[in-house]
A = this chain, B = another copy of it.
Amino acid sequence: MNTAEAIRSIRFFNGLPDELADKLASISVIKTHPKDALLFESDSEANGFYAVLTGRMKIFRTSPSGKEHILHIFGPGELFGEVAVFQGGTFPANAQTLEESSTLFIPRSDFRAMLGREPDMALKMMGLLAGRLRSLVNKVDDLTLKETPSRVASYLLLLHSSQNGDTFQLDLPKGQIAFYLGTIQETLSRILKRFVDEGLIELRGKEITLLDKAGLQDLADESR
C-alpha cells in the first residue's frame, strides 16, 4: 500500500478532494511496527498523529507501580493521537501495538493547514473529538457509578453486538481486558467464574458463549 491508497482507505478522509488527498499523501509516512511496539508515550512531544492501517493499537496510561488503564483500542481505519494536533503539542497517553501493525503518520502542521481550508473536514474532526469525549464521559461514569461485574457484563454484550452468534472468541488476553475495564486479572477471572456458576455464560479458554443475555443486560444496567 502506498500513502495515497492509505489515505483513501481511511474513513475519516472520505470526501476529501483528490488534490488535497494527494497533498496529504505526499507528506504522510507509512510505518510498520512489531507486536508490543511503543509508538509514543504520555507527555512526549507530538509532531503529528496516526491512523491504523493494519493491526490494533492500545491507548493507555500507567501508574509508576506498573498498573495500567486502557482508554481505547483502535483498529484499521481509526485515527489516534489527534488530540495533540490541537492542543498542548504532547500526547495525553501512551500508544502501543497489540500485534504486528502498520500505521500512517500525518504531520501536525500540514494537517492543521488543511483543516483551515476544508470546513467539512474541520466539522468532521470536531465530531470525532466530540465522540471521543462522549466515550470518555461514559467511562468515567462506569468507573465511579458501577461495580466491576456490571462493567464486565457490558463488555461481553459489547463484544456480542459486533459478532453474529452467541459464541465468540475474546478479542484480547484476559489481563488486557481487565486493564480495559479498570480492574485486574484476578478480579476479572473471579467474576467470569461467577457468571459461569450463575449460568450466565459458558467459557472454554478464550471462547465464550452468552447463555442469558437478559441477565447480563440487567447486570450491566445495575449501579451503585
Contact = CB atoms under 8 A, between A and B. Distances in A.
Interface of A: 61-65, 67, 69, 71, 82-88, 92-93, 112, 115-117, 119-120, 122-123, 125-127, 129-134, 136-141, 143-146, 182, 223-224
Contacts of A125: 126
A137 B136 contact: yes
7 contacts: A67-B144, A67-B145, A71-B140, A88-B130, A116-B119, A136-B137, A143-B144
A92 B129 CA distance: 13
Give how many copies assemble into the complex.
2
A130 B83 contact: yes
Contact of A122 (B85, B119, B144, B146): B119
Given A69-B140, A139-B140, A63 B224 contact: yes
B130 A130 contact: no
A134 B223 contact: no
A61 B126 contact: no
A141 B60 CA distance: 9
Contact of A126 (B86, B92, B143): B86
A83 to B, nearest CB: 5
Given A86-B123, A123-B86, A133 B63 contact: no
Nearest to A119: B116
